Amino acid sequence: MASLCFVIICTLISSLNLFAQATGSVQAEGDAQVVSSLKLKPKNGLFYMSMGSGNPQKEFQSNIGTGGFAFIMGGGYSFEPILPKRYTDFNASLVLGMDLGYVTLDRNRRPAVYYQRYDDYVYSNTVVPIDLFARLQFNVAQWVFPYAEITGGMNVYSATTDGEYREIVRRDGQNVTETRTTEIYSNRSVFWKYGIGAGMMIKLVENITLPNKASSILLDIKARYNYGLPSNYQKVIDVDQTGTTKYESYENAGTDMLFVQAGIAFRF
């Protein structure tokens, strides 16, 4: 009798183990199918940050110089897919969005020898690019995303001189020296523009969160050419030791710029 009970118990345990393994296998297969479907799920959100150079072109380059560091961030909404969903290895999307940046074309410093309030004069020429864009973006094997775009917007150009000084303040019971600035000269202009661009995003990381979330991180490399309408603007070229700003003025002059960028993009 005891032997019979022992056999029955062993049989039940073996059956439970087999049932658990079968259930786990089915669950794993189900999760794999969900992951595969999430990888193909449309990702409508786009956000990116990039760094590179903003380079005046043609007449703008002759007037302002070769350009400098540029930082741009932006985002958009992706209408996808354009082609039928069955085309999983190659498809396309239309992305509408906006970006904003900051470009330091030229920045210099001069000691303020004859003015007791300021320690230095800092004069610079900068651009804030603001663009709306429409992008045709291709999807190659859910891995590589080349794109071409048209843009329109404005560049806010600034030629400024700041007086910089150090001030001792009391913080947490200690004297601390802080640097402060005062704008003592400025001239700003708005350049209207349109442009074309091209780039490529390459997927670096894919994040899958069951049961229904998917996102990816991509390397984003791009170039964009802005055709700027002729405008009036100034270039700060120097500040004398008494704080008088020296500048050059240009009327109805060219404002074309070329941007070359690399950064990180997020699709979600």
Does residue 115 form part of some domain?
no
Residue 166's pLDDT band (cuts 50, 70, 90): confident
The DSSP annotation for 152-206 comes to: EEEEEEEEEEEEEEEEEEEETTEEEEEEEEEEEEEEEEEEEEEEEEEEEEEEEEE
Does residue 61 form part of some domain?
yes
Does residue 181 form part of some domain?
no
Q: Are 22 and 49 within one domain?
A: no
Q: Structural domain of residue 234, as residue ranges?
A: 43-109+125-161+186-267
Q: What is the CATH number of the domain that holds 89?
A: 2.40.160.20
Q: Can you read off the two tokens belonging to residue 103?
A: 């470009």
Q: In this predicted model, what pLDDT tens digit does every residue of 13-71 receive, in sequence order?
A: 554 454 444 444 444 455 566 666 667 788 999 999 999 999 999 999 999 998 899 99
Q: Are 209 and 247 within one domain?
A: yes
Contacts of 109 (CB under 8 A, 6+ apart): 120, 121, 122, 164
Does residue 172 form part of some domain?
no
Q: Are 31 and 137 within one domain?
A: no
What's the pTM? 0.82
Does residue 135 form part of some domain?
yes
Identify the pLDDT of residue 101.
98
Q: Are 35 and 52 within one domain?
A: no
Domain count, the chain: 2
Q: Are 148 and 192 within one domain?
A: yes
Q: Are 138 and 221 within one domain?
A: yes
Q: Are 217 and 240 within one domain?
A: yes
Does residue 2 form part of some domain?
yes
Q: Are 6 and 102 within one domain?
A: no
Q: Are 28 and 151 within one domain?
A: no
Percent of the chain with pLDDT over 90: 63
More confident residue, 49 or 209: 49
Looking at residues 71-93, what average pLDDT do you find?
91
Contacts of 251 (CB under 8 A, 6+ apart): 232
Does residue 170 form part of some domain?
no
Identify the pLDDT of residue 12.
43
Q: Are 19 and 53 within one domain?
A: no
Q: Are 136 and 61 within one domain?
A: yes
Q: How far apart are CA 34 and CA 210, in angstroms?
A: 8
Does residue 177 form part of some domain?
no
Q: Are 16 and 47 within one domain?
A: no
